[in-house]
Structure 1
């Protein structure tokens, strides 16, 4: 019995859709990962890759030098900030950092080798080198491929404005709008860049993304004894200015330990956002700013503002302004009760220290 045209049409349509999905699947798997600007021993670049809900940054190990910590700024108009802790180094001058902070929410790259890279390199003679600037903007430099090897590619700037320099290490090379390599070094004499092939890089990192990441992370971040606290603490979820170093990160504000947070004083206003514990909004009517331990006292905030929000889209309501007197050990800022999920401290100035502004803690009592 012959099928009717009406019955054949859905089956034919399903076959066409399936073939279309199979055709685009390799391109989807090889989509360029997000990138970030890296500030540590040197300035450089990183690729952001995700595994089991955690965010990791891949950067040349020489960018870190002997440092175990880096500040990262995402390539996005919001300039998301992140802390990067060194987890492991690999051959070919590669290193992996565990990323926390707002930047982790922009991490959606997949550690999958780009399909068809060999064919693209065999026929292409041009590419684009993408990097993130300190302000989160993206730069794209047109390059020509001067040599293609089994491990490395060599690229040359196509125009005068596409010149390569030291701070670009870790930039992503795109060929045919798909990942082809990671810039590892720039020859100061010729201006050429040495690029580690993308497939070789991800093959080198595969042991980590294949299951070693969790163990490495636990070994790299041993817990410190905490001072007992009353009730659950809020979590620092984002900030807009990098910390001075690994020992003075924004998470120190709520860790319950005798630690201090310092951020650069050159980029006011300085903002820190806290998320209150629990799955629902909480009633808040005061915030305590702890300055005990901040030294010199000129690093303490001077003029500040407290803002709150109950929405994840960043709709902020100002509830209090004030000045922190540098002789105060702590300051309680009261305001009318309000139901919130997120709270922002926005600092407009400090007491004159040109290097940093900071606090030892922020406490947000929740009404019962």
Structure 2
């Protein structure tokens, strides 16, 4: 009975958030079904979404709460299971609703834990419209927030990766995973997410030295991928992907970028923390 109440409350509350969120949240269909958040850059429409939802980006599309659909393609990945996809909005989706960096999030999270405040996870339904699930903040660190559902059924949160967490009416983060055993939902903090993708969306101001100009130290070895790892053209999370390494695949290392956590291969560059030296 308690689970049924939570589901009903989610549908009703979702209607009240329609105007506040405009068309920012979208349903994302990639390798998995999930959610994303629209954001504009130089008049072009993009969506921030968990990378595991996108997968290889085949037959990728997004759908707004009013069921308007648009095709999409993978633009970039940033580590921490975060990806950017380019959305072919073509005037049908409103991408220009702004982005909230969520200042003062630490204080709000501290208050939420101390006072037992209720937060909400918002997602776009496959049948259109928004729905909201009430949760309580269980804990947090500098990158992640853990929340627990008010109902006892954690399974209602399956497939919500990329959904928005709202706290005090403001975006607090993006859902990344659900731990059914612990009954917790893991959320990537809004301020950490803002920082992670800042260089992609900030097209003004001075630029750092191009990553390719960084000096490379000699290193002859082999490394094995410990996670699904992109080989990139340059030692930067914003550089195009040449190809992907699956867990267990090895690659020859020809150098180490001085001062940066990147290894050079014959094809490009891989991150140090995604590889195990052999």
Residue of structure 2 equivalent to 1:187: 179
User: 1:42: which partner in 2?
Assistant: 32
For 1:128 and 1:91, how far apart are their aligned partners in 2?
Answer: 26
Structure 1 residue 145: Cα displacement: 0.5
Deviates more, 1:201-210 or 1:61-70: 61-70
Question: Among 99, 102, 105, which residue is 1:114 paired with?
Answer: 102
**Change beyond 3 A, Cα 1:175–1:103:** farther
Q: Shift of the alpha carbon at 1:75? A: 1.5
Aligned counterpart for 1:80 among listed residues 34, 57, 68: 68
Alignment partner of 1:94 is 2:86:
no
Contact conserved, 1:113 with 1:198, CA < 8 A, in 2? yes
| Residue 207 of structure 1, CA deviation | 1.1
The alpha carbon displacement at 1:134 in A equals 1.0
Give the superposition deviation at 1:115: 2.2
Task: Determine if contact 1:68/1:86 at 8 Å carries over to the other structure.
Answer: no
Say which SS state the counterpart of residue 211 (structure 1) adopts.
coil
- Contact 1:90 / 1:204 at 8 angstroms: preserved in 2? yes
**How far apart are residue 131 of structure 1 and its match?**
0.3
Q: Does the 8 A contact of 1:43 with 1:63 survive in 2?
A: yes
Structure 1 residues 204 and 84 mapped into 2: Cα distance closer, same or farther (>3 Å)? same
Are the aligned partners of 2:155 and 2:180 in contact in 1 as well (CA < 8 Å)? no
- Tell me the secondary structure at the aligned position of residue 46 of structure 1: strand
Question: 2: CA distance between counterparts of 1:109 and 1:161?
Answer: 34
Structure 1: runs of 5 or more not aligned: 1-30, 221-368
Deviation at 1:34? Answer: 1.1
1:171 to 163, 172, 178: 163
**CA 1:192–1:55 in 2, change beyond 3 Å: closer, same or farther?**
same
Quote how far apart the aligned CAs of 1:92 are.
1.4
* Alpha-carbon separation, structure 2, partners of 1:103 and 1:190: 43
How is 1:110-149 mapped onto 2 (pairs within 5 angstroms)? 110-124=98-112, 125-149=117-141
The alignment's C-alpha RMSD in Å is: 2.6
The CA distance in 2 between the partners of 1:138 and 1:93, in whole Å, is 24
1:168 match: secondary structure:
coil
- Alignment equivalent of 1:152, drawn from 114, 126, 144: 144
Q: In structure 1, how many angstroms separate the alpha carbons of the residues matched to 2:49 and 2:86? A: 11
Cα 1:199–1:104 shift into 2, 3 Å: farther
Alpha-carbon distance in structure 1 between the residues aligned to 2:26 and 2:46: 11
TM-score (norm 1): 0.46
Measure how far apart 1:100 and its partner are.
0.9
User: Residues 154 and 194 of structure 1 are in contact (CA less than 8 Å); yes or no, is this contact kept in structure 2?
Assistant: yes
8 Å Cα contact 2:39/2:47 also seen in 1 = yes
Q: 1:194 to 1:69 in 2, by over 3 A?
A: same
Count matched residues.
185
